[in-house]
Structure formats: C-alpha cells, structure tokens
Amino acid sequence: MGWPNMLVLVRHAESEGNLRSADERAQFEMATYAYALTPRGRRQAEKTKEYLQLYFGGNNKYDLSLFFDVRYASYYERSRETLQIILPSAKFYEPPRLYEDPRLAEAQRGIYHTMTNDQIEERFPGELARKAREGLYHYRPLGGENWPDVELRIHSFLGTLSRDCDGKNVIMVVHGHWLILFQRLIHHFSIAEVMAKYKAGVFENASITIYKNKPVEGCHPHLELVEENIVPWKGLI
C-alpha cells in the first residue's frame, strides 16, 4: 500500500448554487446535489482541461484519459459534469471508467439547505445561538454534518486511495470545503490552522491542486504538494 504517483484535485466549476446566497439557495426549489454548471462554469472547466492537457501532455489536443489511470468525482451533478468536460472520452458506466464516490460529497448542511436564517430562528429558536456558541468546526446542523463528520468520510477515502491507487495517476473533482479538510488530514493542520484557511477563502471554482508521491528512505512515502489553487481561467472568462 502507498500513494498515487500523481494526484490532481480539481474543485468543480461554477454551478447554479455559486450564483446564490445561502438564503437564496435555501429558497431555490432544487436539491443542492442537483445544481448544474452555469455556462460560465462550463467554460471554466474547458480552460482547466486545456491547462491539464498542456501540463501532462504537452499540447492542447492530448487525451487526458491516457494519463489518468483512475478518475473520481462526487455524485453531485456539478462535480460529475466538470469531470466529464475534462475527460470527454471517459464515461461513468463504461470503460474508460469515471467513478463517483459519495465520500467525496460536500458537507450536508441539513436545515440550512431548505430554510433561511429567519425561518430557522422562527422554527428552531436558539439554533443560531447554538451554532455561534459551538463554532463552525464543531457545529452539526439539524439533519446535517459537522466538520469532523466530513473528515471521517475523507479518512475512509484515503484508505481506498492508498490501497487501490498505489503508483497510479489519479484525478478527482471535489468540493471546496471538502478539499480544505482533505488538506487538514494530509498536512496535519490544527483546527486553528484549518479555520484560518477556510476564512481566507475556499479554493476557486475549476482550480487545480497537484500532489505527487514522495518516497522517503526508511519511511512510508507521503504526498507532497506541488501546486495549489491554480486557476487557468482567471482573466480569460
């Protein structure tokens, strides 16, 4: 067991949810996992694909399916759609396979998916005060997950990554908050460090973060950060 030779993490491109505030999303008659990419988001994903084609293939016609042995997305539509734009020759249900994994999903926000802050205050008095008292890291919304819950999913996925993807080139389309917590586990960030990273801003839409396997003599190899939050579409779209 080890680590992928190369691990590329892409945050999904701009979706319908990114254009709305939290209260607007709560009133939007669509499940959060069903948000599709916007036209701008699809253009962002195309620019990300072109960057990866040049980075790994040397030209913008390179088929990235030839480089990536394993391809993962969460089951969220915006994640799946981004991956299919980056790897148009690959499919979710036939070779060369794209795999969806529920452990890559964004944190479930429970009542915040369907209620505005005013509605929560009216129906669940004291809930907003409980959130403020417990803090973002520990607070678990009714029907949802807190940050340690998401970390447990990531812990489980890291076991799969180590077992099934040893020495392979892997691409994953994930979510911004998920990626911050992934880095907390990989880099052993403290809670204070990960909170500061979160408050500084999540990874941008269609951004690229790259890790490589770094062998260490006499020790278990580890993932080394090569590039972080590269945004190929910046200034172009």
Residues 108-147 have pLDDT tens digits of 999 999 999 999 999 999 999 999 999 999 999 999 999 9
Q: How many residues does the chain have?
A: 237
- Top pLDDT among 172 and 28 is at 172
Q: What is the pLDDT of residue 217?
A: 67
User: What's the start-to-end Cα distance of the chain, in Å?
Assistant: 41
At residue 95, does pLDDT exceed 90? no
Share of the chain above pLDDT 70, in %: 98
Average pLDDT, the chain: 94
Cite the DSSP H helix spans in the chain: 22-27, 39-57, 77-86, 117-123, 127-138, 147-164, 176-187, 191-200
* Measured CA distances, 188 to 3, 86, 182 (Å): 17, 30, 10
What are the tokens at 221?
């190899």
pTM beyond cutoff 0.85: yes
At residue 191, does pLDDT exceed 90? yes
Side chain identity at 220, as an amino acid letter?
A: H
